C-alpha cells in the first residue's frame, strides 16, 4: 500500500487545527482523527488508549474507538491491566511503535491471542505511542483482519502523526479543564461553595444592563449572621465554619434557581434577585430570616440556633452597583441597631 505522506499530513494538520468543543467526551474530539486513520491505513478498527497514571501506570483505558456506535460513559471504558500484559506494556513504554505484522505470534502482542485477537479475528496491528511531555501517555491502536500485513515505513510514520494529533487534542482538553477549575476557584467561595464577591460584581453589572433593556426591576438582599464573633469565640472556628456552610445551604434551598446567592466575606452574604421589585425582595428576605431561625444546626456536641439581620434595597439601575451595595449595607446596620433578627428596607 502506498501512502502520499504530503497529502495525508496536510489533512491531519487541518483537522488538528480545527476549533473543537472539548467539553464533551474523549470520543467526541478524537473520533474524526481516528476515523481518518482508519480510512487512510485501510484497517478495520482504530482506538485510543490512555494510561491511568502517567508516572505510575497500572492500566490502559480505552477512551475512543471507531467501532463504538455511541459515546460511552467514563465508567464503562474498557481497560487493560499492566500486570496481565507485561510484554505489551513494556513495548509501549519504550515509545517505539509496535508494527506487528503477525499479531498472534509477535512477542509484543501475542499476549492478546486467546483473550482478544482470535475472538475478534485480528491478525495484524500497528500501535503508535501518544506522548505527553516526552513520556508515553497512551497509544493509538490500528487493527486489521484478513491477510498478514507488512507495515511500510510511511504507514508507521502516518500512525505516529495520528498519535501526535491525538496528543495535541488531549492537551487542549487538559488546558480547558484546568481553565474551568481556575474559573471556579476565581468565582467561588471555597468554604460554602457559593459564588464570591468577584462573581457578584460581574453578575450585577450584567444584570443591570439586562434589566435596563427589559425595563424590569432588580433588587438585592444582604444577610449578616447575628453575633457570629460570639459563636466563634464560644465554639471555635471549626464550628463557625460549619455554621457558615449550613447557613448557606439553608438560604440556597429557599431561593429560586435564577437568584444569585453570594458570600461577600466573613458572615456577610448577598442575594441578587432578578425581575423582583423591592416588595418582593422584602418577602424573600423575611422568608430567609424565618428559615434560618428555625434551622437548628447540629454539630458533634452542640445544637446551635442562629439568627440573621437582613437589609433590602432596589438596585438603582442608573448608578454603579456599589451605590446599591452601600444602601443595603446601611439597611443591615439599621436592622442590627433595632435589635437584630429582622428585615429592614433601605429608605
Q: For residue range 146-155, what is the model confidence (pLDDT) as tens digits?
A: 999 999 999 9
Q: Does pLDDT of 339 surpass 80?
A: yes
Of residues 72 and 231, the one with the higher pLDDT is: 231
Residue 106 has pLDDT above 80, yes or no: yes
| Average pLDDT of the residues of the chain | 92
Residues in CB range of 27: below 8 A, 6 or more apart: 63, 64, 65, 68, 71, 72
Q: Specify whether the CB–CB gap between 49 and 60 falls below 8 A.
A: yes
Q: Give the active site residue among 7, 267, 268, 293.
A: 267
More reliable by pLDDT, 115 or 174: 115
Write the pLDDT tens digit of every residue in 110-163. Answer: 999 999 999 999 999 999 999 998 999 999 999 999 999 999 999 999 999 999
Q: Please give the full DSSP string across 286-326, using - where no structure is assigned.
A: HHHHHHHHH-EEE-SS-EEE--EEEEEEE--TTS-HHHHHH
pLDDT single digits (tens) 65-79: 999 988 788 788 999
> What pLDDT shows up at residue 1?
61
How many residues are present in the chain?
Answer: 347
pLDDT confidence of residue 195: 94
SS3 assignment, position 4 = coil
267 catalytically annotated: yes
Is 166 within 8 Å of 33 (Cβ atoms)?
Answer: yes
Check pLDDT > 70 for residue 2. no
Query: Which residues 6+ apart lie within 8 Å of 114 measured at CB?
Result: none
Instruction: Quick: pLDDT tens for 249-291.
Output: 999 999 999 999 999 999 999 999 999 999 999 999 999 999 9
Q: What is the pLDDT of residue 169?
A: 87
Amino acid at each position: 500500500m502506498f501512502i502520499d505522506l504530503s497529502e495525508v499530513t496536510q489533512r491531519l494538520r487541518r483537522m488538528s487545527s480545527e476549533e473543537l468543543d472539548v467539553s464533551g467526551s474523549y470520543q467526541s474530539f478524537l473520533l474524526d482523527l481516528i476515523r481518518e486513520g482508519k480510512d487512510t491505513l485501510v484497517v478495520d478498527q482504530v482506538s485510543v488508549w490512555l494510561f491511568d497514571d502517567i508516572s505510575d501506570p497500572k492500566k490502559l483505558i480505552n477512551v475512543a474507538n471507531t467501532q463504538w456506535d455511541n459515546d460511552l460513559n467514563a465508567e464503562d471504558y474498557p481497560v487493560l491491566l499492566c500486570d496481565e500484559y507485561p510484554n505489551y506494556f513494556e513495548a509501549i513504554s519504550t515509545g517505539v511503535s509496535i508494527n506487528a505484522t503477525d499479531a498472534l505470534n509477535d512477542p509484543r502482542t501475542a499476549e492478546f491471542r486467546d483473550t482478544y485477537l482470535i475472538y475478534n479475528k485480528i491478525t495484524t496491528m500497528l500501535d503508535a505511542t501518544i506522548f505527553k511531555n516526552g513520556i508515553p501517555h497512551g497509544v493509538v491502536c490500528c487493527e486489521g483482519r484478513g491477510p498478514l500485513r507488512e507495515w511500510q515505513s510511511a504507514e508507521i510514520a502516518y500512525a505516529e502523526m495520528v498519535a501526535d494529533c491525538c496528543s495535541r487534542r488531549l492537551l487542549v482538553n487538559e488546558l480547558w479543564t484546568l481553565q474551568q477549575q481556575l474559573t471556579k476557584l476565581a468565582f467561588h467561595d471555597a468554604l460554602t461553595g457559593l459564588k464570591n464577591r468577584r462573581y457578584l460584581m460581574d453578575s450585577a453589572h450584567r444584570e443591570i444592563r439586562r434589566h435596563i433593556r427589559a425595563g424590569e426591576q432588580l433588587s438585592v438582599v444582604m444577610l449578616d449572621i447575628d453575633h457570629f464573633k460570639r459563636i466563634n469565640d464560644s465554639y471555635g472556628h471549626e464550628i463557625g465554619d460549619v455554621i457558615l456552610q449550613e447557613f448557606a445551604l439553608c438560604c440556597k434551598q429557599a431561593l429560586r434557581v435564577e437568584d444569585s446567592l453570594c458570600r461577600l466575606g466573613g458572615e456577610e452574604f448577598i442575594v441578587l434577585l432578578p425581575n423582583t421589585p423591592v416588595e418582593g425582595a422584602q418577602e424573600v428576605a423575611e422568608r430567609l430570616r424565618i428559615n434560618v431561625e428555625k434551622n437548628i444546626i447540629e454539630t458533634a456536641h452542640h445544637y446551635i440556633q442562629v439568627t440573621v439581620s437582613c437589609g433590602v434595597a432596589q438596585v438603582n439601575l442608573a448608578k454603579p452597583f456599589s451605590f446599591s451595595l452601600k444602601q443595603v449595607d446601611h439597611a443591615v446596620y439599621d436592622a442590627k441597631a433595632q435589635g437584630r433578627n429582622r428585615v429592614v428596607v433601605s429608605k
